[in-house]
Amino acid sequence: MVFGMKPGLEERYSRQVLFAGIGAEGQQRLLESRVAIVGCGATGSVLASLLARAGVGSLRIIDRDYVEPSNLQRQVLFDETDAAESIPKAIAACRKIAQFNSQIVAEPHVTDLTPENADQLLGGVHLVLDGTDNFETRYLINDYAVKNSVPWIYTAAVGSYALTMNIVPSETACLSCLFPDAPSGMVETCDTSGILNSAVNMAASIATTEALKLLTGAREQLRTTLLSHDLWLNQRAEIAADKPRAGCRTCSQKQFVHLAGAGRPHITLCGRNSVQIHEHHRAVDLSELGKRLQPHGSVRHTDFILKFLKEPYEMTLFPDGRAIIKGTTDTALARSLYARYIGS
């Protein structure tokens, strides 16, 4: 038996322990590791699945969204029942993980990562993984990681395109080094360009491998580039990211503007014509609210969410007061609908 490993785990991870790059010592490190995954959609669900199967001891899964039928083409931890019941992704993911690896801790957080809760959600982990769909949240992760010297891995996929980059504060370039500002103009999303599940799996598989290197102490094997690969066009590129950029506002000047909450906007969600209202942090009794909304439209609710349909809009409300307004990208209209039916 491998020293220090609980009974039954030696067989579970035997093929991984046989791999020379990990071995028994590396597997023990994985079992003792704590990882936060921000976003559990396409890339995030693959990341969570692979790391859970690899035996990472504690996974903190953070996602603000719920499962829909369109997710099932690429989001590997969910099934038709999750979509039919609109289960929050973080909860559905942790339930599924418990079915194939009950010996690790999978901790769901149904919320949006914000400057106010970043310390609570990202504190105490060894690594942060990016499963998000927007640069605003990625810059927030970058600020937190650089300020607190926590490594993180940027990962994205859209269309047939996959890309990822390791960020080790004070050693490599950070996100702001390569992207001082968020992309402007027309930006591809899975809503406008679609997405191949193979691109998702490639991006997440590469990021997971880099995570295993970091967590097992194999830092000399880390890739120090921004890697991009278009599976459909067979195009591959790498940009050097081995050193911080002189004058970078984040890792050089230590200006953490996103962590300070400067200019934080409402976020239009990937794959839907919708706006999230996340400025109201207050407890909501979903059952009581459902009764109040019943005369005004179609209502159904579970312990996790309430759905209110008032054509042409659909409102999904969470117990913390956060809401997703589907049917518009106009934040002023979304805020008005929230105030009208939920309260200001």
Just list the catalytic residues.
Answer: 190
Q: How far is CA 204 from the centre of its chain?
A: 11
Specify the 3-state DSSP secondary structure of 265. Answer: coil
**CA nearest neighbour of 190 among 236, 132, 113:** 132
Q: Which residues lie below 8 Å from residue 259, measured CB to CB, with a gap of 6+? A: 115, 118, 140, 143, 144, 147
* Packed helices 42-54 and 89-100: angle between N→C axes, nearest 10 degrees: 30
Residue type for 126, please?
Answer: H
What tokens appear for 126 in the block? 């060894």
CA distance 52 to 97: 7
- Give, as one character, the DSSP assignment of residue 260: T
Give the Å distances, CA to CA, from 200 to 67, 68, 92, 187, 205: 17, 17, 19, 18, 8
Residue type for 319, please?
Answer: P
Q: Rounded to 5 degrees, what are φ and ψ at 50?
A: -65, -45
Residue given tokens 């973080």 in the structure block: 90
**CA nearest neighbour of 251 among 166, 142, 164:** 142
CA distance 333 to 183: 25
What tokens appear for 52 in the block? 């859970």
Enclosing H/E stretch for 71: none
- Residues belonging to the chain: 344
